[in-house]
Amino acid sequence: MKAYINRTTLRAAYCIAIFADLLEIGLWPVFSEGFASILDDFLDILVCIVLTFLVGWHIAFIPSFLIKFVPGIDLAPTWTIAIIIATRNRSMKDITPTPTQEPQMKRIQETEEKPPKITP
């Protein structure tokens, strides 16, 4: 698992996982047993590689990948669940701000460090 990721990468990982699950559920008749099931397997391999590249390796990707080979159960949104599990223990300090958020974060830190002024 990567130590630090930015918000854009995290959002991209969530979007890819949700899109892959919606595609598999929406096109289930096409992806079911038959010729197009090869496309479903290719999609799962591709999603696993991309999510691993984005957020780093996590053990939650293994069951999500293997459960796709069980008929009927592959309709569950396993990639979305896997990315939630893979990123659930991350604190805000593990997520680096995007470049547009850095000046705002510095201003917040500067105001927090100064003691309040007391006027008589």
d(CA 82, CA 108): 33
According to DSSP, residue 68 is labeled G
Nearest-angstrom CA–CA distance, 37 and 35: 6
β-strands 95-96, 5-6: how paired?
parallel
pLDDT digits (tens, 9 = 90+) for 3-61: 677 888 889 999 999 999 888 888 776 666 655 577 777 888 899 899 999 988 888 88
Q: What is the pLDDT of residues 49-102, one digit of tens each?
A: 999 999 888 888 888 878 777 766 767 788 898 998 888 876 555 555 555 555
Average pLDDT over residues 93-116: 56
Token couple for 106: 């510095």
**d(C-alpha 8, C-alpha 15), whole Å:** 10
| pLDDT for position 1 | 59
Sort 89 into a burial class: Cβ within 10 Å, 0-12 / 13-18 / 19+.
exposed
